Amino acid sequence: MQRLRRKDPTGPDIESGTAAGGGPPQSSPTPTSRTSPSRSALPPHNAVRAGGGTNGAGKFVTLLRKICLLTADDGRNPHGWVITIIKDVISGTILGVFFLMVLIFLDYRNIIQLGSARAFRKAAFELMTDPDTVRTIEENIDVKFIPIEVYDNMQKEIAKSAEMVGGNTSLQQHETDLADKRKQLEGLRDDYELWKSKGDTILGMDKWCGSCKGGWGNCDNRVRYLADTYHTPEIKARVDIMKDGKCIKG
């Protein structure tokens, strides 16, 4: 019986042999290996821990765990240093701006005295109040900046107009005045008709015949002719014609 021994570079040693009876090759038992659990085998990030999955502490722990996992991924990723640099730059910029805001606020409250912060605040104020800057901002965002006094006056006018429209007092007053004037007009018209009829009776105008012929055509045409030519009043022209015995109803 011959025995051949072959060493597998990636696995355990394997012995193979040919028995007289052509038996199958024998292999040494493969040792078991333990592998580290992958990320998929880990419990989910939002897994609820004992009593802390729904409160603020649980959320903070979950966020911290995510950051740790991302940091571990950067270590295993061959290009992770690029992501790390980008994150460091972004974090540093945010912290720097926040620190600068804190310094400016403390200087504004006179808690600390920083000449650079005061100069920065003054330069920012001058830039924002510059007419060219204001005009550029107005053109870009399609707004109009106005002084606070003008804005207050506009607000007062708007409130006053809204009150007038809501109360509708002015319109109601005009409608009441119009109704009163119409009543007065109707009363004057009745008085006019009454006195006109009395005057016509006294002057004999109730016997006027405008369609009668008086030797010069229609009587009404004669009255219009006298009014247009000699500016004779209508009543006087009628009275004069009727004195001559013309244009009188038979």
Residues 6+ apart with CB under 8 A from 23: 17
What are residue 173's phi and psi, to 5 degrees? -65, -40
* Residue 217: strand, helix, or coil: coil
Residuewise pLDDT in 10s, the chain (250 residues): 444 444 444 444 444 444 444 444 444 444 444 444 444 444 444 444 444 444 566 776 787 677 667 666 655 666 667 777 888 888 889 999 998 888 878 877 777 777 777 787 788 888 888 888 888 888 888 888 888 999 999 999 999 888 777 666 667 788 889 999 999 999 999 898 888 888 888 878 888 888 888 667 788 888 888 898 899 898 888 888 888 888 888 6
Specify the DSSP element, H or E, that contains 2.
strand 2-7
> Is the distance from CB of 42 to CB of 52 less than 8 angstroms?
no
Burial 168-194 (b: 16+ CB within 10 A, else e): eeeeeeeeeeeeeeeeeeeeeeeeeee
